[in-house]
Amino acid sequence: MNQKEQTGFFRRNPFFRVLFREIDRMSSSFIYLFITLLGPLIAFILLLAIFNEGVPRNLSVALVDQDNSALSRKMGMWIDAAPEAEIAMRLPNLAEAYQRMETGHVDAVVVIPEETEKNILKGVQQQIPVFINNSNILKGGYLQKGIYKTLATMSGGIKVQVAMKHGLSEKQALAKAQPVKLHQHILFNPFGNYAYFLLTALLPLMVVVFTLLSTVYAVGIEVRDGTGPEWLEHSGGSVIVGVAGKLLPYTLLFSVLATVMNVILFVQMGTPLRGEFMLIVLGELLLIVAYQFLGILLVAVTSNLRLSLSLGSAYSMMALTFSGLTFPQFAMPVIAKAFTWLFPFTYWVKLFISQAIRGEAAVLGIRYLAIIPLFILLSVALFPRLKRILLNEKFWGKV
């Protein structure tokens, strides 16, 4: 086949006619450029900047030292030296410190009462009040753990010193101070890295959001502008060929974006990869295609571009909430638990954790992978309605 015949084949073939038509439409509008390239890349950069540290450090703490002893000053130094906390201010009374916490200037208040050193030296138990702003549960919990660990370590050291002064050996004093010692092994995220915890879901979520919205826009604009008949004419009257040719450029672009995401996660961030990488890649491809077809479903159901974009935004962003990542699935009410299965993203998160973080057997990842195509089949069932909408003038012009 010579070059002229090849050119004629591409021009006659319905699939390539739709494909080239869509590429022309994409290159003629800034909106297409933003929702396929600029938007996702900006989202990636912002998320990476937010989670650059990986672990929260130096959260602000106010210290109210009412004892003003050598021990209380040492206690303040220890808290300030903890990676989780930083003594941002030293205040004379609890009322002023509490006011600073209410206004958001500090995240916690530590109070060292009067005669703390004297009571400890006498062997009397001394309480150290700690007030933590837990409106942000993740930050509050992290700060609580850091302060508690610091005070517990210091308390243990004092107990050992007191016991040794009473004639016990160092080994006996250590055993008395901590008769039961916890030897913990954190298996899958030993560093408490928030990037491993959240970015592995937020970056794919950005891919999902822009995949869904770009599909809704690409298909919905045909309905709004009344260009559906032209689209179907290029596809030879086949809605399947029309959808395949229209979606392919977006599928390729978002697959490249997913590749960039993998480089960020596994190369730059060093996210663990203990399972089958090809299962993760296949899951990403299926996730992209599933959300593309769900975009078609939204247009077919609503026949309205603006409404489809609104529903698509809400549906895609709700996926993280109901994925079971930030709040465990088993603790949700029955209705909410059932709702979690309505998002392909839920199965992607389970697949990623299974293969990347836990390193489970491939067969355990395949069970999640096998469910995602069901969303594609559900959307295909609405292709006849989509064709009627594209050809019916009463749906044209809807914003």
Residue ranges of domains in the chain, CATH in brackets: 13-52+191-395 (no CATH), 59-177 (3.40.1710.10)
- CA 282 distance to own-chain centroid: 20
CA dist 127 to 143, 151, 183, Å? Answer: 18, 11, 26
| Residue 111 near residue 66 (C-beta atoms within 8 A) | yes
What percent of the chain has a predicted confidence (pLDDT) above 70? 86
What pTM value is reported for the model?
0.80
Query: What pLDDT is recorded for position 270?
Result: 81
Lowest mean pLDDT among 50-54, 149-153, 305-309, 326-330: 50-54
Q: Residue 263 has which token pair? A: 């480089």
What percent of the chain has a predicted confidence (pLDDT) above 90? 38
Q: Stretch 276-297: mean pLDDT, rounded?
A: 95
| Residue 301 near residue 318 (C-beta atoms within 8 A) | no
Whole-angstrom distance between the N-terminal and C-terminal Cα of the chain?
A: 46
Three-state DSSP at 60 gives strand
**Residue-averaged pLDDT of the chain:** 85
Confidence band for 312, pLDDT divided at 50, 70 and 90: very high
Query: What pLDDT is recorded for position 117?
Result: 81
Backbone angles phi, psi at 89, to 5 degrees: -155, 150
Lowest mean pLDDT among 4-13, 65-74, 84-93: 4-13
Q: For residue 3, is pLDDT > 60?
A: no
For the chain, give the number of residues: 399
**Residue 318 CB coordination number (10 Å):** 15
Burial class from Cβ neighbours inside 10 Å (0-12, 13-18, 19+) for residue 236 reads middle
